[in-house]
Amino acid sequence: MTDRGAYGQKLADVFQLERAPAFVTRTLQKSKIAVTEIKCDIVNHGLTAPIPREDAFLITLQLRDCPRHDLFIEDRQVQTGHLRPGTVCIYDLRSNPVANSISPFHSLHFYVPRAALDVVADMEGCGRIDEFTNQPGVGNEDTALGGLGAALLPAFQRPDEADQVFVDHLAIATVGHAVKTYGVGSRAVHLVISGLAPWQERRAKEMLCSQLDGELLVSDLASECGLPTSAFLRAFRQTTGLTPHGWLLRHRIDHARFLLRRYMHSSLSEIALTCGFANEDHLVRVFVRVTGGHPEMWRRG
């Protein structure tokens, strides 16, 4: 990756790793959030390289038990603790954080520049913040962010099956939760959650159906419905009981069921591509999860 920012290969270089897969959001028009998977099985891997100072944050979710590590902020060693899976640590990239990796580690790092932080704060109806109440050497165990990270991890395991609308939704939700939970100066705004109007629901579903591969921006859906992105996501769930990505997966499966019965001699690979799945294995895996049976069982049934 050639863009400025502590994510992807740049973050891999910081941790002295060969590679670090990353996804970058496309929903935020004037900025971006990037999420990078960092993994190392080596004991005493050593110090990280300095990260260039910028007005940005790294929100880090631990995926593996990390009993021992050191942390230096502005060249001064700070308190550290046992980082358990589900622990969130937030690093201010204005303060030159450097880690000493003693235990092996596995984590997701959400890179959030100031512009993206402000956009998400506005989307969530919060006051804009300057810092977070989070000791990065100790962190906070956070069930909600742990669940968001667990939902995102399969995208790194099978990146060819990752939908942009799904990645954007989880990345924005992660930053929104962090802003509301740990942001200094943020204020909660109690919003009345109402569903989509019939025309908004119809238009959103039309757009989703027109892009079965999921390469659609949540912001485009929201704009078409005349709503801010966060308000659209809440209203869509209120109306359908699902996220846009969840509804799209259900629609793909319904379309696959129709094609399986209508075109008896079409291969599963052909049907998978027609329905927006990456390949036959992707179709089978999602079909079994949603329906409880194999596509060929449905075709014969």
State the chain's mean pLDDT as an integer.
88
75-101 pLDDT, tens digit each: 899 999 999 999 999 999 999 999 999
For residues 171 and 32, give the distance between their C-alpha atoms in angstroms, rounded to a whole number: 10
Q: Tell me the torsion sign for CA atoms 164, 34, 118, 190.
A: positive
Gap between the Cα atoms of 189 and 172, Å rounded: 18
Pairing of strands 56-62, 46-47: unpaired
Reference 12, options 1, 26, 3; nearest CA is: 1
Query: Predicted confidence band at 189 (pLDDT cuts at 50, 70, 90)?
Result: very low
In degrees, rounded to 5, the angle at the alpha carbon of residue 64 between the alpha carbons of residues 63 and 67 is 135
Give 29-61 pLDDT, tens digit per residue: 678 999 999 999 999 999 999 999 999 999 999
Euclidean distance between CA atoms 171 and 179, whole angstroms: 12
In contact, 230 and 244? CB cutoff 8 Å:
no
The pTM of this model reads 0.75
The Cα 1–Cα 243 span in angstroms is: 30
Identify whether the C-beta of residue 60 lies closer than 8 Å to the C-beta of residue 91: yes
The overall longest dimension of the chain from CA atoms, in Å, is: 68
